[in-house]
Structure 1
Amino acid sequence: MKKWLMTILLSLVVFSLAACSDDSDSTSGDSGEEDSTSENSGNEEETSSDSGETVALDFWIFGSTGYQELVDEYMEENPNVEITINEGEMNDMHNNLFTSISAGSGAPDIAQIEISQVEKFLEASDQFYNLNDYGANDVSGNFLDWKWAQAQNVDGSFQIGLPTDIGPTTMFYRTDVMEEAGLPTDREELAAEIDTWDAYYEAAKTVKAETGKFIADTPKLVFNALRDQQEQQYFNKDNELIIEETVKEAYDYTTKMIQEGLVGQNELWTPEWGTAMAEGTYATLPGAPGWMVANVKGNAPDASGLWDIASIPEGAGNWGGSFLTIPAESEYPQEAFDFISWLTAPEQQLRSFEIAGLFPSTPDVYENEEFLATTDEYFSGAPTAQIFAEAAQAVETVHMGVNYAVVDTELSTALTNVAVDGADPQDEWDAAVERINSQLERQ
């Protein structure tokens, strides 16, 4: 941790300039606030709400959350609370947040942290309030067990954040491609037909033979889908690298399909990936979470009715989701907690789903009849809420590790080299492992 903080502090000037750039309304905290430390956690004193004092809370977020409408509603119900949302790009927001807490200045009162970053910030837990001291245990029953566990330390004594959305995985598919390949187009029949990864491989060969198209357009989605179903992924709870035992099989499966011409070579989020989605040059998006619905609609606006959603082979995983945390600099931890506990309660998570499509981490919502009745005509009338709710309840708790992003980046590079350059899969795996170990040694 000391080495890590020293590295971050050496980069402080660069990151500080980024936080104060022309995009000043993106996650720029008030560096003039009086510093506070986590020693304030659990202090029992009159809150500003009780005294009638106006409480100003700075709230850093990323992505399309739709939170402004809910924030406005909360402020109307609590006129002494003023909440300012600062929205930025995900990586910039996390970098600026870590820079701020390392310097002890400039952090917000509330910060959204994405799941892949939580372990990193738990390493700096002394720079955050322990939400257990403010009532987190009282609301823990609102959330899926696996989601709650992602934001706490190993023994559960420190809770860094309250859960927001999740990304349970399914399989999006093109009905026209399936029909052309002679495979089922009905979602339940297709799920029964492709119920294992061996069956997915056989379906890929059928799609290729009958249509000349790929089963999936990018190797990363195939790998991700398999990875996210593992009980352990890149690290064990002692933060030891265990990829040879856990995800090498997923890597080998994916590279085999690449070499046999069953999976395309486009990278996620590229224009080529979006174009292929619109043109229907492949059959499935395996391991697709609920938030990817917006990506498909955005990339393929004219393909309504040609997409559908089925369960993924061999059980769901989770890709994405966030937590709301309270950095220790905040002068108003109780008021901040009162707000985030309200915002993440089942009623507001249902509203977030309705406003912005954020899938709830509160299983009480899954029993709501209106929620379960949600369908999407773009996806052939699929009961999207029900499909994702069933997937969410099948997810297991996974320890991600503080250096999750390091490993994921290098394995993605290896897959890309195999797909695009025709590189040897084992050579690329060995090179990726060497790069990963080199980076871990410097942490």
Structure 2
Amino acid sequence: MKSTKRLFTLSLVLFLAFFLVACSNGDKDESSKGDKSSGKDITLNFWTFGATGYEELIKEYEKEHPNVKVKFKTSENADHHDSLFTAMSAGTGAPDIAMIEVDQLDRFKQAQDRFVNLFEYGAEDIQDRYQDWAWNTGQSVEGDFMFGLPTDIGPKALYYRTDVFEEAGLPTDPDEVSTLIDSPEALKDAAIAVKEKTGKPFVDSMEMAYRAYLDAAPETHLNPEGELIADKEGSLVKKAYDFAVELNAEGLVGNYEMWTPEWANAVNNGDFAVELGPGWLKGWMEGNAPDASGLFRVATLPSEFSANWGGSFLTVPAETDHPEEAYKFIEWLTSPENQLESFKSHGLFPSAPEVYEMDEFKTNEDEFFGGQVTSVVFGEAANDITEAVYKGEKYVSVNNEILTALTNVQEGADPDKEWDEAIQRAEDLVSR
């Protein structure tokens, strides 16, 4: 009888143990829902554009996570975004992780259901890492959906040629230049001095003069409802247009289209005095304008021109079978420590202010810029930006119409007529 009781008790214990293990496994399966690859070898397809230097960081991540393979693909900016848009529209062929440039982001935000909401994977826990305005740019207008984590940003500053400034009788020390050119009016006065003393234009192109005000506008051509506002009273787009027209009328603007061979030669030779450019531009200059080495410096821009130009976000398309692992990877890649590495290797300016306080950042002398620590200037510029800029789905195509008008003005067309016709073309685009 005692043996029978013991057998029954033992059977009951074994049954309960089995039951608890089964329940535990059931809970585990439920908790890993959303990451279909938990514990398995997986491949994450990662699409980017341009030169990021992420290849080396990917190798490091794969060493730390031996079950994860990141398949990296990079393309030219336009090709990348067109291919991504086509794949996401078709609902097939999109990667697990996609980089999206800031000017393109609002276009993709129209298809919110095609993305993973990063808030569901813990993004809110790392919000304090990033510049507020960069973080807000990566969200939906309502703030309840996180499309992407900010990688690099493009705070703008004044790149200037010390030899041209010296010939014009202007100061060449960065602090003195920042003090001198502290308003749009002061910038114009400096431009006149350069033109009178050297015969050279101050700014390289109508587009760069136009972007001075445009990039600082919290709303540009469209509002969140999709309405064209570029022609409304108080529009900073019109103010930007008029500023470029004014500088051009006084012979202060060159005719060098960015990225063309003619523009590259002009940067190299000092054929214009300044570039109102973002932090990432210095990497291009260091690699492509050898004769200008030591002749450029960087100063802060007037507060009216405090703005961001460029930068990217890492998103996770909804097609992925591995949203949790994709999120873990982009969280790691955009950590302050890894943003510092991307800055050092490829000049990607960090979206994480913590990096600006790191010794390697604050002591990073640029030989091309005469030993100046330009990173500190751009860090100040990034901290001075206060608002995210809303651009809208059709920003690029609408802005191209304004740029066409400016091109025509530089060739002698009437500015008012060109503006009206550009707005009409923009209205046609928006109404489609």
Question: TM-score, normalized by length of structure 2?
Answer: 0.89
Q: Shift in Å at residue 379 of structure 1?
A: 1.0
Q: Shift in Å at residue 208 of structure 1?
A: 0.8
Deviates more, 1:369-378 or 1:111-120: 369-378
Q: Secondary structure at the match of 1:393?
A: helix
Q: Shift in Å at residue 115 of structure 1?
A: 0.4
Residue number in structure 1 paired with 2:3: none
Residue number in structure 2 paired with 1:347: 337
Residue number in structure 1 paired with 2:33: 45
Contact 1:147-1:397 at 8 Å conserved across structures: yes
- Quick one: which of 187, 193, 209 aligns to 1:222? 209
Contact 2:398-2:429 at 8 Å conserved across structures: no
Distance 1:43 1:356 in 2: 39
Distance 1:154 1:227 in 2: 20
Q: Secondary structure at the match of 2:61?
A: helix
Alignment of 1:242-253 (within 5 A): 242-244=229-231, 245-253=235-243
Distance 1:142 1:130 in 2: 18
Say which one has the larger Rg.
2
- Quick one: which of 412, 416, 440 aligns to 2:430? 440
Contact 1:58-1:110 at 8 Å conserved across structures: yes
Q: Shift in Å at residue 175 of structure 1?
A: 0.2
Alignment of 1:167-316 (within 5 A): 167-244=154-231, 245-286=235-276, 288-314=277-303, 315-316=305-306
Deviates more, 1:234-243 or 1:166-175: 234-243
Contact 1:115-1:322 at 8 Å conserved across structures: yes
Q: Secondary structure at the match of 1:233?
A: coil
Over 3 Å counting, the alpha-carbon distance change for 1:289 and 1:133 in structure 2 is: same
Contact 2:34-2:323 at 8 Å conserved across structures: no
Aligned partner letter, 1:90: N
Alignment pair present for 1:392 and 2:382: yes
Contact 2:228-2:430 at 8 Å conserved across structures: no
Distance 1:144 1:423 in 2: 41
Q: Shift in Å at residue 362 of structure 1?
A: 0.6
Aligned partner letter, 2:425: R
Residue number in structure 1 paired with 2:19: none
Q: Shift in Å at residue 155 of structure 1?
A: 1.5
Q: Secondary structure at the match of 2:140?
A: coil
Q: Shift in Å at residue 230 of structure 1?
A: 2.3
Q: State the Cα RMSD in Å.
A: 1.5
Return 5+ residue gaps in structure 2 as ranges. Answer: 1-29
Residue number in structure 1 paired with 2:397: 406
Q: Shift in Å at residue 300 of structure 1?
A: 1.7
Distance 1:403 1:338 in 2: 32
Q: Identity percentage over the alignment?
A: 48
Q: How big is each residue's C-alpha offset from its partner over 1:117-166, in whole Å with a ceiling of 9 and x where there is no partner?
A: 11111110101111111111111111111001111111211111111000
Aligned partner letter, 1:204: A
Alignment of 1:81-230 (within 5 A): 81-230=68-217
Over 3 Å counting, the alpha-carbon distance change for 1:146 and 1:43 in structure 2 is: farther
Q: Shift in Å at residue 238 of structure 1?
A: 2.5
Distance 1:202 1:192 in 2: 13
Q: Secondary structure at the match of 2:344?
A: helix
Aligned partner letter, 1:366: Y
Q: Shift in Å at residue 216 of structure 1?
A: 1.1
Q: Secondary structure at the match of 1:402?
A: coil
The number of aligned residues is 398
